[in-house]
Amino acid sequence: QVQLVESGGGSVQAGGSLRLSCAASGRTFSSYTMGWFRQTAGKEREFVAVISWSGVLRYYADSVKGRFTISRDNAKNTVYLQMNSLKPEDTAIYFCAVAPTSRVVVSSGEYDYWGQGTQVTVSS
């Protein structure tokens, strides 16, 4: 059974930092694309960051570029999201996901495996 478990969410003041982790179990995803998405109440899930299987290719939403960094450790089957200079508008539930492809994709529809989400709250 495939399982993705996020951790590291919490509450922080604007300008602060958090590091999210997503550990995968049930199978190895070292050859697949992994990504982070976020969602707030009443809005669609939006793309945040994606990383290729090798870690060489990384893309970010314009809203987080320069502040967030995605990385992965294939030996640990884990993907990370380092979030710096957090803003109140970053408040959301953050989800990690796996797309069963080597292509770097940003559409949520391309992702087959999802975590349960972790809440990030940034206060002003």
Rounded to whole angstroms, how far apart are CA atoms 28 and 77?
A: 7
- pLDDT for 79 beyond 90: yes
Mean pLDDT of 56-65: 98
pLDDT (tens digit per residue) in 9-59: 999 999 999 999 999 998 888 899 999 999 999 999 999 999 999 999 999
- pLDDT for 80 beyond 90: yes
The DSSP code sequence of the chain is --EEEEE--EEEETT--EEEEEEEESS--TTSEEEEEEE-TTS--EEEEEE-TTS--EEE-TTTTTTEEEEEETTTTEEEEEE-S--GGG-EEEEEEEESSSS----GGG--EE---EEEEEE-
pLDDT of 2 reads 84
pLDDT (tens digit per residue) in 94-115: 999 999 999 999 999 999 999 9
pLDDT of 27 reads 84
pLDDT of 90 reads 98
Mean pLDDT of 61-86: 97
Mean pLDDT of 72-96: 97
